[in-house]
Chains A and B, each alone.
Chain A
Amino acid sequence: SQKIEQNSEALNIQEGKTATLTCNYTNYSPAYLQWYRQDPGRGPVFLLLIRENEKEKRKERLKVTFDTTLKQSLFHITASQPADSATYLCALDSSFQKLVFGTGTRLLVSP
């Protein structure tokens, strides 16, 4: 069966450290994968998209990797700040414009 797993329900790190979140999928062949941030009681906010032919993408303090052989994406936040505390969701396209989301990882950055 098809699955998307974010294998940490919660991640606690200290301010200034790098947070690394993992997204693994099975039985999908996505053309792209996305990462979103979701704050409590709010809709997701798009952060980054990485295509199947891209290994790595960066945006400011964010970095995403995509390994289609391992069927895994890693999401890094460098120099983390308390304001980065949120739930982070990975999502991939299952068919035209339809997204399938992972369960999310709740990140808590402590001062």
Chain B
Amino acid sequence: GAVVSQHPSRVICKSGTSVKIECRSLDFQATTMFWYRQFPKQSLMLMATSNEGSKATYEQGVEKDKFLINHASLTLSTLTVTSAHPEDSSFYICSASVDYTFGSGTRLTVV
């Protein structure tokens, strides 16, 4: 089946720095990818929809200047958390629109 590879699995960064998370579709092309975040013991919340070759669509309340999404190719979407703060610490997960496939997630800790 379809596989989505997400890196890194864990990252710790200092407050004020930026962090990039990559999501790659293996063996298939994903014109659309979705980015979610999940706080402890809470459900996944959709942050944005990433479309290859066009601007991402952000959900209400998600700051597009803080969470930069780039989908420059059919196999790669990236999420950059800019000027990260401790409240951005969360579990970020991507998914492809093919076969309801999710990445393994990235645990971001901002110190």
Interfacial residues, chain A to chain B (CB-CB below 8 A):
34, 36, 41-46, 49, 89, 97-104
- Beta-carbon nearest neighbor of A98 in chain B: B46
Question: In the bound complex, do residue B43 and residue A103 qualify as a contact, i.e. CB atoms below 8 Å apart?
Answer: yes
Question: In the bound complex, do residue A101 and residue B44 qualify as a contact, i.e. CB atoms below 8 Å apart?
Answer: yes
A28 vs chain B, min Cβ distance (A): 14
Interfacial residues, chain B to chain A (CB-CB below 8 A):
6, 32, 34, 41-46, 49, 91, 93, 95, 97, 99-105, 107
- Which of B32, B44, B107 touches A97 (beta carbons < 8 Å)? B32
- Beta-carbon nearest neighbor of A99 in chain B: B46
Question: In the bound complex, do residue A45 and residue B102 qualify as a contact, i.e. CB atoms below 8 Å apart?
Answer: yes
- Chain A residue numbers with a CB within 8 Å of B42 are 103
A68 vs chain B, min Cβ distance (A): 20
- Beta-carbon nearest neighbor of B49 in chain A: A98
Task: Determine the main DSSP class of A at the interface with B.
Answer: strand
A70 vs chain B, min Cβ distance (A): 21
CA distance in complex: A98, B47 (Å): 11
B1 vs chain A, min Cβ distance (A): 9
A54 vs chain B, min Cβ distance (A): 16
- Chain B residue numbers with a CB within 8 Å of A44 are 44, 93, 102
- Chain A residue numbers with a CB within 8 Å of B97 are 97
CA distance in complex: A99, B95 (Å): 11
CA distance in complex: A49, B101 (Å): 13
- Which of A36, A42, A97, A98 touches B104 (beta carbons < 8 Å)? A42
- Chain B residue numbers with a CB within 8 Å of A42 are 104-105
